Structure 1
Amino acid sequence: MIMAATKPTANRGYDIIGDIHGCANTLARLLDQMGYRKINGVYQHPRRQAIFIGDIIDRGPRIREALHLVRDMVEHGSARIVMGNHEYNALGYCTRARPGSGKTFLREHNARHDRLIRETLEQFEAHPYEWNEFLEWFYTIPLFIDDEDFRVVHACWDGDLIEKFKQSQGGACIDEDFLHASAAIESFAGQVMDTLLRGTDLRLPRGMTITGRDGYVREFFRTKFWADDPHTYADVVFQPDPLPPEVASRVLTESERKQLISYPLDAPPVFVGHYWMEGEPAPLKSNVACIDYSAVKYGRLVAYRMDGERALSRDKFVWVDVERPEQADYPNSEDSLAR
């Protein structure tokens, strides 16, 4: 029988799963490993609930299959999900701008953006009605989960922004008006989507740039939202591409320190994805964990098995390595700063 949607309970466990990016076969392997079984075509667990960190789409070989698997679980109560920047990007890319805005689509159709969404649109080319249904479904995906024992957001937990968002939207989801407003990055809506789904950053000193492994030249670098008493750029940088040593050693100015946000040690554990981690999964801090370990780049698809603990443990991470046959071709190597 199909499980009905249930409210969280104190004795229910949660399996928080990292960025999937179309690796549906790998996701099925991870769910199997964690004891989920298909009942009437939907993966379910008798005592646990999966929570997806977002970025189900783009880059990988089985995006359509991954979306169906995840949405079925969410609609049957065996999973929850938060929005990733790639779902947000897809909404903007496929939504026409309003008259007088000077744009055709909310997210410009340029070579970089075309490349990021290419695999998704190609895999839905023969299923346009399905794609439109998924775009509508994206509006039902919350930006964050704020439970008593833990929190989940795709890239950055900014408590002040989240509280203001709750007050303005009356919940955790965006609507089409908010999507349109977010196209202006300097607006409140733009800041919410950029911070929660892409993370925080600092501008490099004037005239300085860094070139990422994807060849993209940037004037900013991504920063931690949990750094304790940082002093240098090295103390706050958090991205796949390291800063050059002469940049990493620069001392933060008082103005730069004021731009940083922090995540208190006594706050509930928070889980993020987004950042293309490598190596052995482990907490970033006793109450902060990133669970994106580059599955679509033949890394690992990772989950954290949460059971209400206040201090996170490396023993609670589980994963499957991504096998090369999952992909026909190597995916786009855009990094976590992709906008």
Structure 2
Amino acid sequence: MKALVHEEKTGTKGLSYREIAELEPNAGEVRVKLKTAGLNHRDIYTLQRHKPTDPPLIIGSDGAGVIDAVGDGVSDIQVGDEVLINPGLGWKEKSDAPPQGFEILGLPFHGTFAEHVVIPAENVVQKPQYLTWEEAGVLSLAALTAYRALFTRGQVQSGMKVLIPGIGSGVATFLLQFAKASGATVYVTSRSEEKCRKAVELGADKAIDSNGDWHEALGGEKMDLVIESVGAATFNKSLDQLRLGGTMVTFGASAGDVVQLNIRNFFYGQFNLLGSTMGSTEEHREMVQFIEKHQIRPIMDHMYPLSQFEQAFERMEKAAQLGKIGFHIR
């Protein structure tokens, strides 16, 4: 089968679109003939974590397609089923943190940037019929990350004021849609005027310049909840926008992972700071039910043939996208 394989060199220089041996499902596993797959920031980090001395690896975490083989013991999934993939391996029930052994598809196990992928049967769910293949293929990782951060960790409620810095990412666009569907008032930031404009079109109550004075731009309003994924570049500005006793949930550090915190201001503010990651199988099921109830679709940025992976990675590395970047597999 054709696949996007990382080997021999660090970063994108180690990627090649080539033939690789196809796998057969073992007991409890299924094989998915992939139609589409989604690119995530995790894939860029994987290119640094997967060493040149490691065995060749098919990268990619998100995908959707049709079941074309099932292993022994699989009874509730049939050949021909249209499915999307939950990339989280080994985290079944909702919990404070993932259990030991939790992994994400695409490292250390072969991922979705290929014509086929073999995964545990519990990691596929029926594709919501209203989603296109393009939408289904880019959904799970970003939507599940947003769902856990906003609902499980952030405990969002109708009427809350929610701030989402850095609106361009796929997770951020899900956060915006999820929070609005929950009845929250949502504010976003971006350095891009175009992204700010599009965010308002998508339902944001206000979009402001990330480089400006947030307090002034927001008219002094304070937030009940901030979902922070940018990192050091915005962390303290985000914290400054919290009301007394407010909560900040953080799950990303694309613009720096070391911050300086005024601890006195923090404890006098009675703030809550929570970390978050992708999420469990239980939360993935809740997330799919939520998007079906509200008919939420991923915001699509651009789809590429998998053979044009260089263009897709370049677009993400430049943070040029608004929403999800994906691949057509065939």
Using the size of structure 2 for normalisation, the TM-score is: 0.29
Using the size of structure 1 for normalisation, the TM-score is: 0.28
- Which of the two has greater strand per residue? 2
